[in-house]
Amino acid sequence: MTASSPDRPADPSPGPVLITGASGGLGQALAAEFARRGHPLVLHCHQQVARTEHMAEQIQRAGGTAYPLSADLSDPNKLTDFITSANTLIDQSFVLLIHAAGAMHDGQSSRLNEDQWQAVIHSHLTAASALIEQLRLAPGGLVALIGSGAGQAGRVGQIAYAAAKAGLEALTQSAARPLATKGVRINTVIPGPMETIMWQALNSAAQAAILQRHALDHLCQPQQVARFIATLMEFPSATGQTFHLHSRLPAVL
C-alpha cells in the first residue's frame, strides 16, 4: 500500500501548544521550533506585547497559526482569566504546555517586600500548578516546566527565584502520578546558561563566574532546548523527571 493510498488514514495534524514567557529568548526559540513543526500556538507574554504580536504575525504569514495572549501570571485572577482564554482560543486539547514565564526580583528575603516575593512565587510556581489543573491537556500530552540550577543549589541574592524553581521540581514529581492517570506526562527541563539577551547583559566577570561552575565552557542555545523538548514529546515513558542540558557539577570538597 502506498503513502497516497486512500485506504491509509491521514496523519493527524499536530496538536496545539501553549508557551508561557514566549517573548523571551527561549520563548521565541520554542515558538519558532513548534511553528516549524506545524503546531497551532498560544503565545503568552506579560510586558513585551508588541514583540509577541509581531512573532505571531510572522508565524501566520508563513502559513501557521499563532495567538498572542498577554497576562500577568502573578495575579491569581488574571491567571484564571488567561487559562480560560487559552482553553477557548483553540477548539482542541493541548498536546504540550511549556511554562517558561516567571518574574525575578533579586535580593535576600528580608529585602524583598511581600508583593515582590509573591510575584516571583506566583508567576513561576502557582501559575504552573494552576495551568496543570485547569488547562485542557490531551491524553498523551506533555507538560515541560523550565527549571534552573538555582532550584537545586540555591543562589545568593535570588532567594525567591531559587525557592520557586525548587518548587517546580517538587511539583513535577508530585504531579506525575495524578497526571499519568489522564495519560499526561510532566517533566522539568533545566537548560543552564543560555545565549540570550539576559546572558549578554552580564559583564564578563559575571559570565566567567557562572561558567567556572561547569565542566564545559560553552552555553546551551535556546534552539537546542526547543529541539530537546520536541524530542521529549516522543518519549512516552518519561515523566516526573528533571533533565539537565548543561554541565554544572556538584562542588567537590
Helices within the chain (DSSP H only)? 25-36, 49-61, 76-89, 114-121, 127-134, 150-153, 159-180, 197-200, 204-211, 222-232
Contact 103, 79 (CB under 8 A): no
List the chain residues with pLDDT less than 50.
1-11, 107, 151, 252-253
- Backbone conformation region of residue 102, classed left if phi is above 0, alpha if psi is from -120 to 50, else beta: left
> Residue 94, Cα to own-chain centre: how many angstroms?
14
Q: Is 67 a catalytic residue?
A: no
Query: Read out DSSP for 61-123?
Result: HTT--EEEEE--TTSHHHHHHHHHHHHHHSSS-EEEEEE-------B-GGGS-HHHHHHHHII
- What is the C-alpha separation between 169 and 156, in angstroms, rounded? 19
Looking at 86, 118, 161, 189, which residue is catalytic? 161
Predicted pLDDT at 220: 81
99 beta partners: 20, 145
pLDDT at 170: 96
Residue 245: closest CA among 235, 229, 237: 229
What's the confidence (pLDDT) of residue 103? 72
pTM of the full structure: 0.87
**pLDDT value at position 251?**
54
Supply the pLDDT for residue 3.
42
Q: How far apart are CA 129 and CA 140, in angstroms?
A: 19
227: left (phi over 0), alpha (psi -120 to 50) or beta: alpha
> Which strands, in side-by-side order, build the sheet including 137-146?
66-70, 41-45, 17-20, 94-99, 137-146, 185-190, 241-244
Give the β-pairing of 241-244 and 17-20.
unpaired
Residue with cell 514566549: 22
Partners of 98 in the β-ladder: 19, 144
Determine the Cα–Cα distance for residues 148 and 50; give it in Å rounded to an integer: 27
Answer whether 96's CB lies under 8 Å from 141's CB. Answer: yes
Q: Could you give all domains of the chain from N- to C-terminal order, each with its CATH number?
A: 17-193+221-244 (3.40.50.720)
**Cell, residue 82:** 488567561
Separation CA 134–CA 52 (nearest Å): 23
Question: Residue 54 and residue 34: Cα distance in Å, rounded?
Answer: 16
